[in-house]
Amino acid sequence: MKAISIQKYGDPSGMKVIDAPEPVAAPGQLLIAVEAIGVGGVDAVIRRGTIGSIGFPEGLVPGSEVAGRVIAAGDPADKGWIGRTVWAFTGLGGGYAEQAVAGLDDVTPLPEGLSPVDAVTIGSSGPVAHFGLAHAHFAQGESVLVRGAAGSIGILAVQMAALGGAREIAVTTSSPERGQRLRELGATVVLDRAGYVEQTDRDGHDSAREGHDSARDGREAVRDGQDSARNGHEAARGAQESERFGSEGSRAADGFDVIVDLVGGDGMPVFLERLADNGRMVSLGVVGGYPPADFGSALLRSFRRSLSYGTLSLDTVPVEARNRIRERNLAAAARGELRAVVHDVLPLPEASDAHRRMDAGEVFGRIVLTV
């Protein structure tokens, strides 16, 4: 069968089309004739060698999520799966191929009306967004900021916050054009990457903040005492200025009950300071690199504001819960309640081009490979 192999970690040019042996389903596994493959951020991280050179050998077939038709079962008792169209998690490799195997616990049947292409856009990202918001204890009527909202997880977090009754949904993104697309998915305020709100969005954001203001007034004296400690973050704020697409009338947005962070990086501590009292930030990724080692000091400087920070990995979510939410998300997509945002669909041999476009920051949503 045809597959994509990482012959050399680093640049996408190290990915090559190869002839590989067809996989065989072991007991407890299903063999899938792949129709669609989701190109995820973890694939790019592995390919770049960030973790690939440590835990993965050259020759790895990357890819973690596929959709297609089951053509064989490793155990005769599981033959009822044969012929069904499914979404499947293949682990940290094995997906960029014409055939793939997956464990029964990692397979979800596709509902009628949902294409394999849409399935691999939502299948893994949906549960991450869902459990990320749950981990932040997001509740109806709260304000949410999704930092790094143009990827598949961020896009679904925006939609789920809207469906959950968020009072305000702010997003950070790289351009007004992307911001407009995120508005169509449920965002109400568009910020640049540095977290600055445009003059045109200011009235809506200020209105959403009014509910917080009276509670904050009584705490201003406490916060004044914290100002000198915050001066250490001015360098990080300055570095973010280069990421602003706003006018001189723009200003920093703050007062968020929940921040879903997919970026990390040097600017993350500044966003911690933009939480409302009792606000919660949950990190679902670090596409911008790890935050500064002392980022927790931003929480301690605001000790009396009761801010919280956490991380969320699906590895800690029970399999049954993960699969139940995935099935629910796929059904919602089939009904049109969740939108799968597909940036482009490319044939499997063009996997390296998909990765080049990811590295260039061109992708809004997800690129899907097809067989």
Residues 260 and 182 in one domain: yes
* 324: in domain: no
Helix (H, G, I), strand (E, B) or coil at 341: coil
Cβ pair 70, 31 in contact under 8 A: yes
Alpha helices by DSSP H, listed for the chain, are: 41-48, 52-55, 116-122, 125-135, 152-163, 176-184, 199-217, 220-224, 227-230, 234-240, 268-272, 297-301, 319-335, 351-359
| Amino acid occupying residue 69 | R
Count of domains in the chain?
2
> Tell me, what's the pLDDT at 206?
55
- Classify residue 89: in a domain, yes or no: yes
Angle, to 10 degrees, between the axis of helix 125-135 and the axis of helix 319-335? 110
Pick from 298, 314, 330: which residue ends a domain?
A: 314
Q: Residue 54: its pLDDT value, please? A: 62
For position 209, what pLDDT does the model report? 52
Does 170 reside within a domain? yes
- 3-class SS at 352? helix
Same domain, 85 and 163: no
> Which residue numbers in the chain have pLDDT < 50?
199, 211-249
Q: Are 205 and 170 in contact (CB under 8 A)?
A: yes
Residue range 58-116, pLDDT digits in tens: 899 999 999 999 999 999 989 999 999 999 999 989 999 999 999 999 999 999 999 99
My answer on whether 303 and 361 are in the same domain is no
pLDDT at 203: 53
pLDDT of residue 234: 42
Using CA atoms, how far apart are residues 101 and 145, in angstroms rounded to an integer? 37
Same domain for 143 and 93, yes or no, is no
Question: Of 296, 314, 332, which residue sits at a domain end?
Answer: 314
CATH code of 76's domain: 3.90.180.10
CATH code: domain of residue 220:
3.40.50.720
Whether 55 maps to a domain, the answer reads yes
Whether 116 is in a domain gets the answer no
Query: Do 137 and 195 fall into the same domain?
Result: yes
**Alpha carbons 170 and 193: distance in angstroms, whole number:** 12
Same domain? For 102 and 133 the reply is: no
Tell me what pLDDT residue 313 has: 95
116 Cβ neighbours under 8 A, 6+ residues apart: 35, 36, 67, 68, 85, 87, 110
Same domain, 156 and 33: no
Rg from Cα positions in the chain = 22
Domain assignment of residue 43, given as a range: 2-109+341-370
The pLDDT assigned to 55 comes to: 75
Asked if 268 and 306 sit in the same domain, the reply is: yes
Assess if residue 214 is contained within a domain: yes
pTM of the model: 0.86
Token representation of residue 13: 């040019």
362 located within any domain: yes
Does 70 lie in the same domain as 216? no
Q: Do 152 and 23 sit in the same domain of this protein?
A: no
Tens of pLDDT along 17-44? 999 999 999 999 999 999 999 999 889 9
What pLDDT is stored for residue 248 in this prediction?
Answer: 43
- Asked if residue 105 and residue 130 are part of one domain, the reply reads no
Cα torsion angle, 210, 198, 279, 163, sign: positive
Q: Which pLDDT score is estimated for 207? A: 52
What's residue 135's pLDDT? 98
Q: From residue 242, how far is each of 16, 192, 245 by CA, in Å?
A: 36, 10, 8
Does residue 148 fall inside a structural domain?
A: yes
Residues 95 and 136 in one domain: no
Inter-residue contact 19 to 2 (CB < 8 Å) = yes
> Which pLDDT score, from 0 to 100, does residue 7 have?
96
